[in-house]
Amino acid sequence: MKLICTAAVLCAAASVSFAAGLPARGLSGNYMEARTADVFTGPCFANGEVEINGKEAVFGWKIAKGDWKGVNLAGLGVVGVVRSQHTLGDIHRPINPAIAVLIVDSRASVEQRTALVAFAKSQAPDLLTNIVQVKSAPIELTIENGNIHGGAARLTAGSLAEVSTRGMTEADHTCGNEDIYYPPLAKLEHAMPAYALKNSYAGDGLDDTWSAPFRRSSFVGTFQVSAQ
């Protein structure tokens, strides 16, 4: 498949860049998310999904290096799973109550577990205000060839949640005026839209489970957080 590399995608990806350089200390690593609505789409498709789809999401961080308030978190991950009242990212619904399950890396110590929860809440405060459960599972996030621009990546939280993606292709341009309609759910340094091959949650706590594959519903990105 031929990967797309259009000015619209590159400009839009640049618009979700939040930091220019590496902090002297802090956290850095990779990020993935997938929702139950398209994020890379045209307005007509997006408007057709509002209040119908996009109320659920899986998103997670894998920390490559750094610490949170003195606690080393290198090599650990944390995943949020959320269900909201309205479509996530709808600018016409700035107040969007949500409940969330947070999954922390099973390799984390008690101290690291607390730090992972605090880190995740700081990066997506609106979504993680009402955490109904904190679970533990092995978390992995791998990006093919270490290149987020390729779009191929996989996030797993044990058997509870999974997101896998590929890069966008020309065949994913259904109406011809697609762009990043919704920004990422978390604070990021850089992000690229990706096509979700898998997007699932099989746990409890949200009164809902889902599998929403084969959608233009994902982001693959990087984050840089200053020292705390």
pLDDT of amino acid 148: 93
Of 219, 222, 228, give the one whose Cα is nearest residue 39. Answer: 219
Residue 46 is predicted with a pLDDT of: 82
Among 158, 33, 30, residue whose Cα is nearest residue 106: 158
Residue 7 pLDDT exceeds 60? no
Per-domain boundaries in the chain: 7-14+25-222
Q: Are 82 and 161 in contact (CB under 8 A)?
A: no
The predicted pLDDT at position 47 comes to: 77
pTM: 0.87
Confidence (pLDDT) at 23: 41
Phi-psi region at 49: left, alpha or beta (left = phi > 0; alpha = psi -120 to 50): alpha
Residue 195 contacts residue 172 (beta carbons within 8 Å): yes
Kindly indicate the confidence band of residue 51, based on its pLDDT and cuts at 50, 70 and 90. confident
Query: In the predicted model, is pLDDT for residue 167 greater than 80?
Result: yes
User: Cα–Cα–Cα angle for 47, 51, 54, nearest 5°?
Assistant: 85
**Cα 219 from Cα 205, distance rounded (Å):** 24
Span 122-133, mean pLDDT?
Answer: 96
Asked whether 33 and 154 are in contact (CB, 8 A), the reply is: no
Measure the N-to-C terminal CA separation of the chain; round to a whole number of Å.
43
Give the number of other Cβ atoms within 10 Å of residue 137's Cβ: 18
**Which two structure tokens, joined as six digits, stand for 96?**
């969007």
